[in-house]
Chains A and B, each alone.
Chain A
């Protein structure tokens, strides 16, 4: 039934509307970001570098969460599950099999993607949506927390400590303290994660998942297999989040049940994206640039509070409380997050 097409005048091949300027602009921005991240460790001191690493880990988690919950519209409140699987898989394989973290990281990502896809399949199969979907993911993350606390081979509540080699090796991702590679590696991982997001968001499966998020019924009426298209987003999301987990274990030489699967980890995956802008490419990075330094500052404040805040000494969970306040402020005043709101304002002005 394609007899209609040939007779019709086609839009000229050089029609300006055919140019995907968004894609080009995003890739240029990513290039600039890569350069900045490459130079940054050369000019800042070791203390800033450690804040930077934490910020980068937050950013990768946020980018991962955003793939499924932002672009895919499946709100996960259990991304700790995938972060933790990445962290534990990395630690376990490095300790037991002396595998390179590079390899262990990829295995962890594949593993997390498989688990995430299975969980999401169950949730979607039984039509869990919105808050129920979020609760189900939360329940799975809690299950993983309990497992990690009770499994002998994961060393129960003591967690796993990675061996220190005493020599520098890129292959084993170990360097002297303060070596710039500790920043360059997560920088590279973040750039890759953002690159995946940019290409995915403008590819066929990426567009499909956004269509299904906007209107599931309309998407299906246009031939989209909503389940399959969503599982692709989940797969990518879990893999990216697991990479963040793997690097976390590698950088801190340790992973325990709480650091991997604690509720605050799930919150940390959500906050950067919500703060920066859900479902936008740069939102999670913008959010992480706030959350990372803030988390570090709070940690320091608790360790050594000024005299008028002495009651905070040794209190835990203040970071989560601060995130909660930030979330409330954003939800009340900037629904689309910092980057999302700015982006809308700029587009509005352009159209006027």
Chain B
């Protein structure tokens, strides 16, 4: 395993072309172990596609993904997840026929075959993300904030090294955001490496150690969040006048 501070996930020249459209265009980043990397960009900038490529749901047209010293380019999603690189989905994808506890068990089962132990571990994670009172509720009956936490709980339950969070704050009212941000901060503090797609700038600035700005699939800027957001190119291309 790599030393703290060295590169845990390295993405080189990652490109995804669909017929006539380059969704992700030559992205190259080194994500250090224990880093919190924010990713912003206007809708359609290719942020979610970038996650899909890293997580193995789609094959990149070009480029390489190296995770913890292993080239994982082209690995199927389940293998990437098992290796310790787990994503969440912007539009929540709970298993509708199962209650919250059973949803999380799907993830804890990965490293814990025995049902009772997997159940116990799942409940621990559920308490951790403060979903305890919903443990036996069905996803269809949950409010958005709880579904977001379920999405997070399932990913955490796999004990990932790197977690890719796709807009876990979207759809939450401001009062619900603060505890979620606190939770993410705690998880990061405990050693989790995070890649974080988010539109809510306050949260991005509060959490990110570095910020990647994407525009039309390409990397527009990468660096210190404050400096990057003040970069005139970024302000013009993405943030617009209402931010400046």
Interface residues of A (CB under 8 A from B): 1-5, 7-8, 10-11, 13, 15, 17-18, 20, 202-204, 207-208, 210-211, 213-215, 217-226, 279
* Inter-chain contact A221/B98, CB cutoff 8 Å: no
How near does chain B come to A62, taking the closest CB pair, in angstroms? 19
| Residues of the B chain whose Cβ atoms lie less than 8 Å from the Cβ of A2 | 159
Docked CA distance A296–B128 (Å): 57
| Residues of the A chain whose Cβ atoms lie less than 8 Å from the Cβ of B84 | 1
* Inter-chain contact B93/A18, CB cutoff 8 Å: no
| Residues of the A chain whose Cβ atoms lie less than 8 Å from the Cβ of B96 | 214-215
Residue B42 at the A interface, CB < 8 A?
no
Of the residues A15, A204, A214, A219, contact of B113 by C-beta under 8 Å: A204
How near does chain B come to A280, taking the closest CB pair, in angstroms? 10
- The stretch of B23-31, B119-127, B171-179, B233-241 in contact with A is B119-127
- The stretch of B14-22, B104-112, B197-205, B216-224 in contact with A is B104-112
Docked CA distance A271–B107 (Å): 34
Residue B135 at the A interface, CB < 8 A?
yes
A-B CB contact pairs (8 Å), 28 listed: A1-B191, A2-B159, A3-B190, A3-B191, A4-B191, A5-B159, A10-B124, A11-B123, A11-B127, A13-B120, A17-B123, A17-B135, A18-B120, A20-B119, A207-B109, A208-B106, A210-B97, A213-B97, A218-B89, A219-B106, A220-B81, A221-B57, A222-B81, A222-B107, A222-B110, A222-B154, A225-B78, A226-B78
Of the residues B106, B155, B190, contact of A207 by C-beta under 8 Å: B106
| Residues of the A chain whose Cβ atoms lie less than 8 Å from the Cβ of B192 | 1, 4
- The 9 tightest CB contacts between A and B, nearest first, are A218-B93, A214-B95, A223-B81, A220-B77, A223-B82, A4-B190, A223-B110, A11-B123, A211-B106
Q: Total interface residues on B, using CB and 8 Å?
A: 47
How near does chain A come to B126, taking the closest CB pair, in angstroms? 8
Q: Which residue of B lies closest to A204 (CB)?
A: B109
* Inter-chain contact B77/A11, CB cutoff 8 Å: no
Docked CA distance A168–B191 (Å): 71
Docked CA distance A17–B87 (Å): 27
How near does chain A come to B3, taking the closest CB pair, in angstroms? 14
Docked CA distance A214–B97 (Å): 7
How near does chain B come to A230, taking the closest CB pair, in angstroms? 12
* Inter-chain contact B158/A222, CB cutoff 8 Å: yes
| Residues of the A chain whose Cβ atoms lie less than 8 Å from the Cβ of B115 | 20, 202-204
Interface residues of B (CB under 8 A from A): 55, 57, 76-79, 81-82, 84, 86-87, 89, 93-98, 101-102, 105-107, 109-110, 113, 115-116, 118-120, 123-124, 127-128, 135-136, 154-155, 158-161, 187, 190-192
Q: Which residue of A lies closest to B84 (CB)?
A: A1
Docked CA distance A211–B191 (Å): 29
* Inter-chain contact A218/B119, CB cutoff 8 Å: no
Docked CA distance A2–B158 (Å): 11
Q: Which of B79, B95, B98, B110 has the most CB of A within 10 A?
A: B95
* Inter-chain contact A221/B86, CB cutoff 8 Å: yes
| Residues of the B chain whose Cβ atoms lie less than 8 Å from the Cβ of A20 | 115-116, 119
Of the residues A4, A13, A204, contact of B118 by C-beta under 8 Å: A204
* Inter-chain contact A8/B124, CB cutoff 8 Å: yes
| Residues of the B chain whose Cβ atoms lie less than 8 Å from the Cβ of A17 | 101, 123, 135-136
How near does chain B come to A342, taking the closest CB pair, in angstroms? 17
Q: Which residue of A lies closest to B119 (CB)?
A: A18
Of the residues A208, A217, A279, contact of B93 by C-beta under 8 Å: A217
Docked CA distance A223–B98 (Å): 18
